[in-house]
Amino acid sequence: MLGSDPVADMLRVMLPAGGYAMIECQAFFDESSSHSGAPFLCLAGYIFKKSQAIKLGHEWKKVLRWKRLPYFRMSECAHGNGPFADLTKLERIEVAKRMIEIIKARAIQGIAVTINNLDFVSAGAEYPNLVRVYKTPYGFVSHTILAGVASWLDANPRVHSMAYYFESGHKSEAHAERNMQQIFASQQKLVQYRYSGHGFVPKIKSPAVQAADLLAWQWYKDRKNQGEGRPPRKDCASLMQLRHTVMHLDRAGIVSVMENSATLRNVNPVSQLRDVAARFS
């Protein structure tokens, strides 16, 4: 049975007068799409206006009730696994299409970044400060995502409040909490990021985090398709009708970021984020 939406509940507390939210999840992939021991990390998220995030939750759950699904996960929907095993391929395509249309109607912008964990380790051997400052690939990629949010906030000065939500349950959750505490210990950063609070929510109970999961899967698959010379998936092309900024940081990209700053503390990798609309036009 579908319960209450934890993001909606937290938004009402953190943003009582209204505002915006960045909602992020992480996913791990390898070439067989297995999540165990996978070398690729993808962080993806959406920026929502508070009211639109709440509406997304209502509409998302309506689709889940329609097919008696306990949650939405793009990988299971695509392959017919888990609770999607009882649906036909056409039914699964229709569910995904409806979720994508909800995202396009309710989200403002998507941001997604992938990184090969082995590239991070290799670059870290050359640049020890990389590991000293960011500790893990997750720390480096989450910094990139936050830089993307900061860039969006710079372009939208009328936005006064932003709440940040992350998928709970991963081993990186404690690291994410440390990152947020370190970043927002600075009054300057509190102002820059219009910070009004942050929290962790379980993907299985949160439609907005499930929407971010959909983006993570689609961006990883599209990055892989590009490498193999394949055209975009139709559902990915539909999703990208909403503005998305994305990046894959290979070893050369990581090294480029490192070489642009001796200390790393002022690195702003958002300059490498690219708008993907042209690929899907």
At 70-127, the pLDDT tens digits run: 999 999 999 999 999 999 999 999 999 999 999 999 999 999 988 888 888 888 888 8
Residue 281: its pLDDT value, please? 38
**Contact by Cβ (8 Å): 248, 219:** no
Whether residue 50 has pLDDT greater than 90: yes
- Whether the full predicted model's pTM is greater than 0.85, yes or no, is yes
Residues sharing a CB contact under 8 Å with residue 40, sequence separation 6 or more, in sequence order: 28, 29, 30, 114, 115, 116, 117, 220
Greater confidence, 148 or 70? Answer: 70
In angstroms, the Cα distances linking 9 to 4, 54, 57, 136, 154 are 8, 9, 11, 31, 27
The encoded tokens of residue 120 equal 């991070």
Find the Cα–Cα–Cα–Cα dihedral 5, 9, 11, 15, rounded to 10°: 160
Higher pLDDT pick, 206 / 167: 206
What's the pLDDT at 29?
Answer: 61
User: Does a structural domain hold residue 1?
Assistant: no
The answer to whether 41 and 138 are in contact (CB under 8 A) is yes
On the 0-12 / 13-18 / 19+ scale of CB atoms within 10 A, 163 is buried
Residue 165 lies in a domain: yes
Indicate whether 110 belongs to any domain: yes
pLDDT for the residue 9 = 84
Q: What pLDDT, in 10s, does the model give residues 230-266?
A: 988 999 999 999 999 888 888 888 887 766 644 434 4
| Residue 73, pLDDT score | 95
Six-digit token pair at 50?
């508070």
Radius of gyration of the chain (CA): 18
Domain count, the chain: 1
The single-letter code of the amino acid at 207 is: P
CATH of the domain at 165: 3.30.420
Q: Is residue 279 part of a domain?
A: no
Of residues 214 and 13, more confidence is placed in 214
Q: Is 133 exposed, middle or buried (0-12, 13-18, 19+ CB in 10 A)?
A: middle
**What pLDDT shows up at residue 265?**
43
Of the pLDDT bands very low, low, confident and very high (cuts 50, 70, 90), residue 58 is very high
% pLDDT > 70, the chain: 85
Given a cut of 60, whether residue 35 has pLDDT beyond it is: no
Domain of 122, in residue numbers: 6-273
pLDDT at 4 > cutoff 90: no
The stretch 22-31 carries a mean pLDDT of 71
Is 80 exceeded by the pLDDT of residue 201?
A: yes
Tell me, yes or no, whether 127 lies in a domain: yes
Contact 148/270 with Cβ under 8 angstroms? yes
Q: Say yes or no to pLDDT of 62 above 90.
A: yes
Cβ neighbour number for residue 15 with a 10 Å cutoff = 20
